[in-house]
Amino acid sequence: MAKSGARVPVLEQETEFRDRIRGECLQPWGVGEARQLDVADALRTCANEMRWVNLIINGQHAMKRYFVAMTPQASGMWAFYHSLAQEALLATAAAAAGADVRRGATVQHIDPGAKPKAKIAQSGGTSEVEARLVALCAGRNPALRAQLGFQTRLTTLIAMASLWSGMRPPPDSRFNAAPRSRC
């Protein structure tokens, strides 16, 4: 959005990311999505590409697959430390695109009125920003939605389900044998 000229504040509570997960693995289709979102180059700075997989079950070789030749994305799986990927996306992708990145910032309240505003605590002070769209990434803290005044509604789930309408599973999917719906 920032690359398109929108004013985008990105508020991050952490001043420095810590490695809590111990790593990530982005499957080839995720690499394709990262390319479409124009963040693949940022992620690639901290990723190691796993081009082959050798699956061994009970000591027996079960499968060897060369992802680059066998996936539509022509990519292997990308492995990286989660904290390095976060930093790459925040610094390399968001800030470089022109987003107003604020580290050590905590959203205290969101007023969803006609012109939504977020109250932010940072460096011992508070400020407000107006926003037309708020994306809340709270990780394992769903209580944050309630603290900030968001209500979870069934309509949100219905709206998200409509995004998948009309999509079909891949031809090699186990769901293709006896499709039960058009989703």
Q: Is a pLDDT exceeding 70 seen at residue 41?
A: yes
At 183, the pLDDT band (50, 70, 90 cuts) reads very low
pLDDT above 90 as % of the chain: 19
Q: With the C-alpha atoms ordered 36, 88, 23, 144, is the resulting torsion angle positive or negative? A: negative
At 139, the pLDDT band (50, 70, 90 cuts) reads low
Least confident of 17-21, 71-75, 127-131: 17-21
Identify the pLDDT of residue 148: 67
Could you give the 3-state DSSP secondary structure of residue 33?
A: helix
Nearest alpha carbon to residue 94 among 155, 59, 123, 137? 137
Whole-angstrom distance, CA of residue 172 vs CA of residue 160: 25
| Mean pLDDT of the residues in the chain | 77
Could you give the 3-state DSSP secondary structure of residue 75?
A: coil
Domains parsed from the chain with CATH numbers? 19-99 (3.30.9.30)
* Beta strand spans in 7-136 (E): 9-12, 24-26, 48-50, 52-57, 60-66, 77-80, 100-103, 105-111, 117-122, 125-130
Whole-angstrom distance, CA of residue 119 vs CA of residue 114: 15
User: What backbone torsions phi and psi does residue 59 show, to the nearest 5 degrees?
Assistant: 80, 0
Identify the pLDDT of residue 149: 67
Whole-angstrom distance, CA of residue 94 vs CA of residue 91: 6
Identify the pLDDT of residue 108: 85
Identify the pLDDT of residue 36: 92
Whole-angstrom distance, CA of residue 113 vs CA of residue 117: 8
What's the length of the chain? 183
Identify the pLDDT of residue 35: 93
Does pTM surpass 0.85? no
Q: What is the pLDDT of residues 149-181, one digit of tens each?
A: 666 654 444 333 334 445 555 554 444 444 444
Q: Is a pLDDT exceeding 50 seen at residue 145?
A: yes
CB-based contact 47:75 (threshold 8 Å): no
Q: What is the pLDDT of residues 69-81, one digit of tens each?
A: 888 899 988 988 8
